[in-house]
Structure 1
Amino acid sequence: MTNQKVVLVDGNSLAYRAFFALPLLTNEQGIHTNATYGFTIMLQKIVEEEKPTHMLIAWDAGKTTFRHATFSEYKGGRQKTPPELSEQFAYIRKLVEAYNIPQYELDQYEADDIIGTLSLQAEQAGYETIIISGDKDLTQLASDSTTVQITRKGITDLEHYTPSHIQEKYGLTPLQIIDMKGLMGDASDNIPGVPGVGEKTAIKLLAAHQSVEGVYQHIDEMKASKMKEKLVANEELAYISKQLATIERAAPVQITLDSLAYSGPEMEAVHAIWQQLQFKTLLEKSSFETESKELEAINFEVVSEWTEAHFEEDMTLHIELFSEHYHTAEVLAVVLSTDKKRYVMQGDSSFSQPAFKRYLEDVTKEKRCYDVKAFQAVSKRFGCELKGASFDLLLAAYISDPSISSSQDLASLAKHFGYSEVDEDEAVYGKGAKKKAPAEDELFHHAIRKADAVWKLKSPVEDKLKENKQYDLYHDLELPLASVLGEMESFGVKVDRKTLEDMGVALRGRLEQIEIRIHQMAGQEFNINSPKQLGVILFEKIGLTPIKKTKTGYSTAADVLEKLQGEHEIIAEILLYRQLMKLQSTYIEGLLKEIHEDGKVHTRYQQALTSTGRLSSINPNLQNIPIRIEEGRKIRQAFVPSEKDWVLFAADYSQIELRVMAHMSQDEKLVRAFQEDRDIHTQTAMDVFNVKAEDVDANMRRAAKAVNFGIIYGISDYGLSQSLTITRKEAATFIDNYLTSFPGVKQFMDDAISEAKKHGFVTTLMNRRRYLPEITSSNFNLRGFAERTAMNTPIQGSAADIIKKAMIDMDRELESRGLRTKMLLQVHDELIFEVPLDELEQIQQLVPQVMEHAVELSVPLKVDYAHGSTWYETK
């Protein structure tokens, strides 16, 4: 045998395994990513552990194969591939391409046949061969030089099938696997087999007679029994089933072993996909280093003291920070530049100089920036105000193309517009533990090149916005919002540390009590946080039925435990224990770490991130504090006003996305329901279930609510079935009934798809665009994703635009009226303020009025509000 190793991968099988093994995940653009992520993990493991010299990903070419000529019902009855998976195949193939792994499919043949044919060629050439799949049919290919690795549970647990392993497990040779399938069939492929013959019976028959042919050669010698009757009656089915289960090893493949030579991935291309799909953990762990390219030296002046002579009417202001967490990041340099002059000062001393402070606060001096909000927050840290910001490259670029997000640095963003005269930060600073500031000269060059990019890109980016009729969205909404958000972030929100600490103590006490109860129910002490120990308790000692197994034992994942609810009282206690543990570690301890010296948390709003325009929040994320369980809601008790005798005031839009959908679709029934202030979920339940209002029960309303909000997010029958724990068929009926009941919504969705196909994008009420190049793709899966996105983006994006407009209007009202009330937070459709008691009555009238009239729709916007001494009390 040579030292050549061929790895042949069943692509469809692994993609399915990854999809169903991981929860549904999406990136900021709404692209589902769980299958692609899982597939990536598998590829990484394969490449690192097997170190192949040759490799291939084989794909099924289509629904019809040569086997259908033998048995037309072959693979019949399979459920349609969930669209959440279908849309990911294009990204998986793109990923495989970036890994430089050859891919192949063959019309009328399955991936199994490609693998079978090439593995035989590899055997004949003396190569070691590894086959990887989730389909045990492929175990028939095992030989002395071929190992078939079959996925068991999860995405990395593989069982290695060699001839000896197959003998030990089944008492069969690899080729007898075909006979076993012939007798017992295979429900997953709709191979019938002999009805009534299961795996044990098939193995017993083969032990005695070696093959299907042997069974029937000796059929007359068998004692009379029902089994014999079934074998006699279904002889033809047995032979057909064996034929269907036999992998073709002489398929007319047009590739050779030599063409499968594998030299490793193109990591820059791989990283680009990881960045697009936001595989942050993989990016952080990757050893790939960005290389700095040679750039021409530039002239600049190092300033020791700012004077009026340095400042012009229109300049780029750039503040170079060591990290993206600008509320705490070290200031490395400050740059002021035009196309002819470049000035730089090291460190943060600029902010202590009166001339520079006057320049920052001079609204008549226009300042071009990369990220106005960040620079405003940094200025506030040093007691300065940033005014006169006339350009924000990050926001302008993001609006022109939402796929450009703040997760990219300035250099990556600039490349989108053809400007490449600046290095990426990683190339200059390194990353992870190796990250450090470079020598002064290199640092200054890097910061100045960033300033140059901002200066030179202002005109072309703004021209593009004007051409696309998006300049108003940028200039009148996003740019002023950046200042509003910057002010909110810098002001922060007060958190009572003692309240959080007391909650932590109380939670630990509850956890101890639950732990005692669990141990009593189990009859012994064990480590509840150990999946291995917990699995032994549940499935061996208590005797519950195992649902999944992992490499280390029984799976005790959340989905497994949820399916076991009701079978034993210990399950509910374990699920509660885990919920409270997460509250303790992620939220209570996490929030405590984020409290600054002023006793506040200063979250960062990511304004240039999502494809719909919604804001997200980090350090800490205040938009995902759990509110479904009381212990989670109570965390909001720690959020308090920063002034004594003030209150917190919360106002949120009621069902804003449904109201936007009513306005945009002009569905008569939907519009009328909102105009008449009816309960929309009850109305939907009446229509979908064809019942009167008094006959709508809680389950009907819950299903209607899931459909109402699901439609907005482009939910599929699979997605709805998972949400409601019903069959896909029932979910499809719900959706069909909904669209029949609200024909205007159906027409709106059809029109959205037509517009996207015509123009290549969809828009919100304020002309925010989302480009959908895949809408005309010949690839069904990519096209399907684009169509769902075309339907839901205008609604989600318009709702996001409305609350942004409300925030700007509120900020102006508070300032113009001279009110002391402060806007603190935006959490999805909710705004939170801190209010002095003498302004509360005025705020109770002003906030709803401003929010409800941020835009005028054909249905009323409705705002619910409340106040209290803590955020918790506002609900």
Structure 2
Amino acid sequence: MDPKKLVLIDGHSILNRAFYGIPELTNSEGIHTNAVYGFLNILFKILDEEKADYLAVAFDLSAPTFRHEMFPEYKGTRKGMPDELREQVPVMKEVLNAMGVKIVEKAGYEADDILGTLAQKSEKEGLEVSVVSGDRDLLQLATEHIKIRIPKTKRTGTEIEDYYEKDVVEKYQINPKQIIELKALMGDSSDNIPGLPGVGEKTATKIIVEYGNIENAFDHVELIKPNRAKEAFKEHFAQAEMSKKLATICTECDIDFQIEELKIGLLYTEDAYLLFKRLDFKNLLTRFNCDVPVYSVEENFKYVSDLNQVEEIFEKGQNSKNASIVLIGGNHLLGAALEYSDEETFFIGVEGFVTEEYLLEKVEKLLEQIDQVGVLDLKHELKFLNDKERNNIYDLGIAAYLLNPLRNSYLYDEIAKDYLGMLIPSKEDLLGKASLEEAFNQKEEFTKFACYCAYVAFKAMPVLIDKLKETEMFSLYQTIEMPLIYTLYHMETYGVKVEKEALEQYGQQLKIRIDELEKIIYEQAEEQFNINSPKQLGVVLFEKLKMPHAKKTKTGYSTAADVLEKLAADYPIVSNILEYRQLSKLKSTYADGLANYIQDDLRIHSTFNQTITATGRISSTEPNLQNIPIRMDLGRLIRKVFIPEKDYVFLDADYSQIELRVLAHMSGDEMLIKAYNEAQDIHRITASQVFHIPFEEVTSLQRSNAKAVNFGIVYGISSFGLSQGLSISRKEAADYIQKYFETYPKIKGFLDKLVEEGKANGYICSVFGRRRPIPELSSSNFMQRSFGERVAMNSPIQGTAADIIKIAMIRVDQELRRQGLKSRLVLQVHDELLVEAYKDELSMVKEILSEEMKNAAKLDVTLEIEMNQGQNWYETK
């Protein structure tokens, strides 16, 4: 019979490792969670590997330990903990308690001593023990039956080093007990153990291998080499003796425990499930097989398909002021979930006499009669409804996005958690990974899912509306975000036509050039290799061809774009490799990839997302039409495959330098405002002012450099970033930036004020009141804070520009429809609008575009656009 296994975990040590190994994470409540998440991943990995019978986690207490009594100057090991880590310790304990994991801590003892005591007592009782810690001090505990496991948490996962007694001897040339002697000589700054000055690991190991312990070494002090180690022994041996005592783990602590107290029971409890949901640990929920908690509200959920009952439900709804209506379905309507009061929530399924047409007719009529209607995703519901714009509908997903734009999603269970304080089952909890059509036959679970959608929409609607008013974003919600839903729906419905044959030809054209480059690269390298393999490419460039700037990683040399770009000017092969990469991406992503999205009407219907970016910009997916490359000629050519219908042309209108104009307005800098209002070349005038030369004498290079500074300032560029972009020294870049701020003095003050406001409030605002939280500004990590400062400088500008383009989109779409024109808005790409204009309406559409875009906002500077037309998208640029 195999012996029982015990796993002991050093709580603070593993939390600390996880905290520094995983990027900063917060849940929707703003609680930092990266250390807890990393700890759990390590815990589950260990348990999966060990198949253990018993488990305990030891924590330090802040009370003084026996070491403090021995040496008053000893400071302990867990001081100076960042606030973001400290706040996760009680959360970690709460999680462990919810999972039924035994926590062991006792005043007077550190976690190391608790672990040492438990490990040795358990070994004597015949158990196999694994001690998990990031602290190599614990190697002194290793035996034939006690294994020390030291995890390393990385982005790519967790790696664990394992040490039995023989492994310690093999790696360190000494036995586990001699780790104490090693520590006595080397010291440990993290544990405030001084050691001997000037004695490092190599020297310390050599001494212990030769003499066994520090006392014997001291007896032979005159023989010790090198001389600095000998002198350190003579002068500081008392310090080494103290360090030895500090490094020695106590294995006889006064801890009363029974091994059965540590027995692993059901870890994946209902309480743990709810806590994992609260912490947003979605990836870990798959470990739970427990029943999803049953909530009392489910008693009021009802599935209805009887025609008479359905009639009664809709009749009852006519007398309600508030309601939620959630239409459920993919390509076809499966049913409607409704709630009018706290008493009942209904799911009306499309079944029998309750047809799709009948149900939609009833819903349309109801929408005309109720004052406030909560929905979760209006753009999706417009697939089934008419697209008449209604002021009584409130999309709660959009509302939740405005209140917290840093979330990844705004699903009904997340809204319930964030705004109702309820932890309810998600769609995946109830339906698994089945499609809606597949899950529809699971009537009980499907009804719960549909009714939860309606329940949350009904309950959360007043809460979210009040919060939007409190944060002064209700006007932004009503006048920009809600009307935008209809505009985006129209754009998705119209789509944009693609000439399939031209797309195929473009792909062939790319392939010809890719094949040419491949041959050239092989000739230049004087061998064939996999150009797409970073490992093989690194060997060719940095070993065979001996190129500079080599960055060695664990997997080989880095061949990232920033490394290769430094080499491209001097090495033709690198320039060709960069082009090869770009064209290969073009072919796979666009030439080949776009073909998969062409529908039966020969048009691509991209999805425009309103809730993805933290700044408020719209994004495009399936496919992403906003990321089509335009800087390289061959990349720009792909726009030729996008064409208008017969008797139509494309009209493209693009805002001119909108973010710089927003910067001028928000900063109130008179010089910049004047330059724009006098329609001067802003980059040339900046160069003239910064370099103190007449306007007409500015060279192309100086204008180009000024342009880089102008746009860089908007993004909070540093002297290092500018120096890299312009290939100049950091000092020159710093001088450019300083002269820029001297030229436009109010801009520096404005940007500094944004950072101050961000730190004081925790968020910054666009001109239209859009908030962007910046938790990074309060981070103890310098890099995180620096990132937060750049976000604070840029987001109000980018957010305002995003709001302006949204207003322009809405007004252009509304005006085209109001006038009953055939022309339609089909694409938005950052600051650019593309209209498929009916030829007979061309002059009217040009006037609408000009009027609505230029007057989308009243700023201290004029909003200008560039407008072009063409028989394909390429011709408009």
> Fold conserved (TM > 0.5)?
yes
State yes or no: 1:472 paired with 2:475: yes
Match of 2:328 among 321, 328, 332: 321
Q: Does the 8 Å contact 1:494/1:601 carry over to 2?
A: yes
Q: Structure 1 residues 735, 296: closer, same or farther in 2, change over 3 A?
A: farther
Q: Does the 8 Å contact 2:400/2:464 carry over to 1?
A: no
Q: Structure 1 residues 260, 415: closer, same or farther in 2, change over 3 A?
A: same
Q: Does the 8 Å contact 2:398/2:611 carry over to 1?
A: no
In the other structure, the counterpart of 1:273 is: 279
Deviation at 1:3, TM superposition (A): 2.0
Match of 1:18 among 19, 22, 39: 22
In the other structure, the counterpart of 1:126 is: 122
Q: Structure 1 residues 199, 732: closer, same or farther in 2, change over 3 A?
A: farther
Q: Does the 8 Å contact 1:668/1:744 carry over to 2?
A: no
Corresponding residue SS for 2:409: coil
The 1-side partners of 2:730 and 2:136 are apart by: 27
In the other structure, the counterpart of 1:344 is: 348
The 2-side partners of 1:800 and 1:398 are apart by: 18
Q: Which runs of 5+ in 2 are unaligned?
A: 124-128
The 1-side partners of 2:595 and 2:630 are apart by: 19
In the other structure, the counterpart of 1:622 is: 625
Q: Which runs of 5+ in 1 are unaligned?
A: none
State yes or no: 1:606 paired with 2:612: no
Q: Does the 8 Å contact 2:105/2:114 carry over to 1?
A: no
The 2-side partners of 1:530 and 1:118 are apart by: 49
Match of 1:390 among 389, 392, 397: 392
Instruction: Give aligned-pair identity as a percent.
Output: 31
Q: Structure 1 residues 218, 408: closer, same or farther in 2, change over 3 A?
A: same
Aligned pairs (5 A) from 1:505-520: 505-512=508-515
Q: Does the 8 Å contact 1:398/1:404 carry over to 2?
A: no
Q: Does the 8 Å contact 1:344/1:448 carry over to 2?
A: no
Corresponding residue SS for 2:809: helix
In the other structure, the counterpart of 1:595 is: 598
Aligned pairs (5 A) from 1:443-482: 443=446, 447=450, 450-451=453-454, 454=457, 458=461, 461-462=464-465, 465-466=468-469, 469-482=472-485
Q: Structure 1 residues 857, 150: closer, same or farther in 2, change over 3 A?
A: same
Corresponding residue SS for 1:274: coil
In the other structure, the counterpart of 1:649 is: 652
In the other structure, the counterpart of 1:146 is: 147
Q: Structure 1 residues 854, 415: closer, same or farther in 2, change over 3 A?
A: same
Aligned pairs (5 A) from 1:768-779: 768-769=770-771
Which residue identity is paired with 1:592? A
State yes or no: 1:48 paired with 2:48: yes
Which residue identity is paired with 1:602? H
**Residue deviations 1:571-620 (CA, integer Å, cap 9, x gap):** 76666655555444444444332222222222222324544433333322
In the other structure, the counterpart of 1:756 is: 761
Q: Structure 1 residues 837, 143: closer, same or farther in 2, change over 3 A?
A: farther
Which residue identity is paired with 1:321? I
Q: Structure 1 residues 529, 355: closer, same or farther in 2, change over 3 A?
A: closer
Q: Does the 8 Å contact 2:759/2:777 carry over to 1?
A: no
**Residue deviations 1:683-734 (CA, integer Å, cap 9, x gap):** 88999999999698699758746852443xxx89999999999999999999
Which range moves more in the overlay, 414-423 or 161-170?
414-423
Q: Structure 1 residues 491, 533: closer, same or farther in 2, change over 3 A?
A: same
Corresponding residue SS for 2:861: coil
Aligned pairs (5 A) from 1:400-419: 401-402=403-404, 407-414=409-416, 416-418=418-420
Q: Structure 1 residues 604, 350: closer, same or farther in 2, change over 3 A?
A: farther
Match of 2:375 among 355, 370, 373: 370
Q: Structure 1 residues 503, 12: closer, same or farther in 2, change over 3 A?
A: farther
TM-score normalised according to structure 2 size: 0.72
**Residue deviations 1:542-570 (CA, integer Å, cap 9, x gap):** 889985565xx547674896599589987
The 2-side partners of 1:682 and 1:55 are apart by: 68
Q: Does the 8 Å contact 1:497/1:592 carry over to 2?
A: yes
Which range moves more in the overlay, 630-639 or 2-11?
630-639
Corresponding residue SS for 1:766: coil
Aligned pairs (5 A) from 1:775-794: 794=796
The 2-side partners of 1:183 and 1:683 are apart by: 66
Aligned pairs (5 A) from 1:29-428: 42=42, 44-50=44-50, 53-54=54-55, 56=57, 94=91, 98=95, 116-126=112-122, 128-133=129-134, 142-144=142-144, 145-149=146-150, 151=152, 154-174=156-176, 207-208=209-210, 220-221=222-223, 228=227, 232=231, 247=247, 249=249, 264=267, 266-274=272-280, 290=292, 293=295, 294-298=298-302, 300=304, 302-303=306-307, 318=325, 320-322=327-329, 329-334=331-336, 344=348, 346=350, 353=357, 360=364, 368=373, 370-371=375-376, 373-375=378-380, 377-379=382-384, 385-388=387-390, 390-395=392-397, 397-398=399-400, 401-402=403-404, 407-414=409-416, 416-418=418-420, 424-428=426-430
Which residue identity is paired with 2:280? W
In the other structure, the counterpart of 1:823 is: 825
Which residue identity is paired with 1:481? L
Deviation at 1:394, TM superposition (A): 2.0
Deviation at 1:489, TM superposition (A): 1.1
The 1-side partners of 2:186 and 2:845 are apart by: 73
Which range moves more in the overlay, 339-348 or 453-462?
339-348
**Residue deviations 1:242-266 (CA, integer Å, cap 9, x gap):** 9879746359999998898876462
Corresponding residue SS for 2:383: helix
**Residue deviations 1:499-521 (CA, integer Å, cap 9, x gap):** 43344444455555555566667
Which range moves more in the overlay, 836-845 or 334-343?
334-343
State yes or no: 1:437 paired with 2:464: no
Q: Structure 1 residues 690, 260: closer, same or farther in 2, change over 3 A?
A: farther
TM-score normalised according to structure 1 size: 0.72
State yes or no: 1:807 paired with 2:805: no
The 2-side partners of 1:484 and 1:835 are apart by: 16
Q: Structure 1 residues 234, 763: closer, same or farther in 2, change over 3 A?
A: same
Which residue identity is paired with 2:19? A
Which range moves more in the overlay, 361-370 or 848-857?
361-370
Corresponding residue SS for 2:299: coil
Q: Structure 1 residues 416, 704: closer, same or farther in 2, change over 3 A?
A: same
The 2-side partners of 1:89 and 1:731 are apart by: 40
Q: Does the 8 Å contact 2:507/2:587 carry over to 1?
A: yes
Deviation at 1:799, TM superposition (A): 3.0
Q: Structure 1 residues 415, 94: closer, same or farther in 2, change over 3 A?
A: closer
- Equivalent pairs counted in the alignment come to 834
Q: Structure 1 residues 404, 604: closer, same or farther in 2, change over 3 A?
A: same
Q: Does the 8 Å contact 1:763/1:769 carry over to 2?
A: yes
Corresponding residue SS for 1:156: strand
**Residue deviations 1:626-684 (CA, integer Å, cap 9, x gap):** 5565555444443332445512514235242x543443343556656655667778888
Aligned pairs (5 A) from 1:519-530: none
**Residue deviations 1:761-807 (CA, integer Å, cap 9, x gap):** 65433334457899999999999998887666544433332222121
The 2-side partners of 1:678 and 1:106 are apart by: 71
CA RMSD of aligned residues (A): 6.3
